[in-house]
Structure 1
């Protein structure tokens, strides 16, 4: 397993969207272990979420909070920040990690899925950033990290909405970085390759069923074939990159789209 970066973030409060499942859980654990007070967001089984909240509280030594705003209404991104700020007091680290997927050719792509993906994957991040901006500006310190994708640089058949949203996330990241440059606020994007999350697992399963192949063969031939490392990126690697970008050592790094992709972009 990949060793997680050790970045002390005691005294900071991190809100991580999309953190009750998949990669988001690992990101939340990494920030809690670094001493940051954590607020998690997402839907899921109530008992499992309660266990995660308890785990994060123990890891950080501070109370963790959970919020369940539905980001398919993009404006709930702002409402989430307002609710978390009211409960915790302030947020100076915002991780926009929430994401959903839908795969279909453009001719049959449902309009409601386009709206849902653009809201969750892009619109909610805009509203969350807008809501957290005044306090970060007032404090003269803020870190915003957006989860983009290698598909922020290219297209892929059947992923119209996802690709459009991730391209938009880079534009949002770069513009916010410019506006925050003199305010002590950085904004960067992480662009993962294939990370084996529930979202990726569902795509592997669907592809295998469509092709009549085993999961192992589908993974090797249709997912990892484009990755020079021939392995999935580990969630801890994504978390470490985010931790670094939130550290004072990275205060001059802003507006960056950082690939963590096993060499795809090479």
Structure 2
């Protein structure tokens, strides 16, 4: 049986007008973040694209030429928490997407790597939300979209830092939803399964070592084993869900998690 075919760009049709809005996307140089930055700019937003990958940001800027909105790139390491909070000031839409991954058993997991993962994927989103909320509250409108993961809902072995960070992000998102509701601000987690991104591709060797499998068997026997739709999601599919959550039609969706996991959590 052949793998299902993902939709092409012409199939993506959420109606969205973000003219006059400022959006910030972290981890914007590639993968899901890149797709989100381009989608929001296509809807007319002035997008602040943050990443520590300067070359990737330059490629994003070139790709964004001619879109209805704009993409302003800024090289930023999110471990600089003060700078992250400052960068979020004045934004109407915040997409917390940046992430990193290390696959190791707990007893072999480097403590400094654990600390870095939680700093980038949990503490930095807190600081970004903290920086964005005053402007959102003043305008009476805001959208916080936290790119979580199926691992924000359930766990997998050998990913202690990633799973801990995503579970923490889920709680942070719900708290922001409760506090933001009286001010017209929504906060939602989007929970993809495995997406065709460099972050996933870099996991193959580590997963092979951790599970004692050849690398060419990791995708089917480990990553996609639990999914009903046995293919990787495309970054543009996640970006389209983000776009919907920023639309007027999604104003009642807050404090929850939207799974894009190909049926993984249906088990």
TM superposition score normalised by structure 2: 0.90
How far off is 1:51 after superposition?
3.3
Match of 2:85 among 78, 91, 98: 78
Q: Which residue of 1 aligns with 2:147?
A: 147
Show CA shifts across 1:127-153 (max 9, x none): 000011111000001000001111112
Aligned residues: 256
SS at match of 1:259: strand
| 2:9 is the alignment partner of 1:8 | no
How far off is 1:214 after superposition?
4.7
Q: Which residue of 1 aligns with 2:3?
A: none
CA contact (8 A) 2:188 2:254 kept: yes
CA contact (8 A) 1:77 1:128 kept: yes
Q: Which residue of 2 aligns with 1:165?
A: 165
How far off is 1:218 after superposition?
2.2
Q: Which residue of 2 aligns with 1:24?
A: 33
How far off is 1:73 after superposition?
3.5
Q: Which residue of 1 aligns with 2:47?
A: 38
Q: Which residue of 2 aligns with 1:87?
A: none
SS at match of 1:137: helix
CA contact (8 A) 2:46 2:72 kept: no
How far off is 1:43 after superposition?
2.0
TM superposition score normalised by structure 1: 0.91
Return the alpha-carbon distance in structure 1 between the equivalents of residues 45 and 251 of structure 2: 17
| 2:75 is the alignment partner of 1:68 | yes
Gaps in structure 1 of 5+ consecutive residues: 83-89
Show CA shifts across 1:37-86 (max 9, x none): 1110102243x422321332421244x2111221124443213224xxxx
Change (3 A) 1:119 1:214: closer
| 2:52 is the alignment partner of 1:52 | no
Change (3 A) 1:61 1:94: closer
Return the alpha-carbon distance in structure 1 between the equivalents of residues 124 and 156 of structure 2: 23
Return the alpha-carbon distance in structure 1 between the equivalents of residues 113 and 59 of structure 2: 31
Show CA shifts across 1:93-125 (max 9, x none): 000001011121111211111110001111000
Structure 1 residue ranges, 4+ long, deviating more than 4 angstroms after superposition: none
CA contact (8 A) 1:76 1:127 kept: no
Return the alpha-carbon distance in structure 2 between the equivalents of residues 237 and 129 of structure 1: 24
How far off is 1:167 after superposition?
0.4
Q: Which residue of 1 aligns with 2:136?
A: 136
